[in-house]
Amino acid sequence: MRERKIKMTRQQMQDEAGIIQTLLSAALYMHSEPNREDLFVIIEKAQDRAYRLNIALDDVNAPEGMA
């Protein structure tokens, strides 16, 4: 089942990828912290953004007439 379309410009997609990379880098630095709650929040945010970016990329790469 496909989610609703998410329209993003190329720049927005690149920005999202950069944000995801930054969130995951922060998660790597936090992995040894005693309070893991913040770590999981950051990973969830990265996962949500990656999911939305993937939907936007699917829309861009869909065959003509499918988008």
pLDDT in tens, 6-40: 899 999 999 999 999 999 999 999 988 888 899 99
**37-46: long-range pairs with CB below 8 Å, 24+:** 46/20
9 CA to centre of own chain:
15
Q: Does the pLDDT of residue 66 top 70, yes or no?
A: no
pTM of the model: 0.81
Q: What is the pLDDT of residue 1?
A: 42
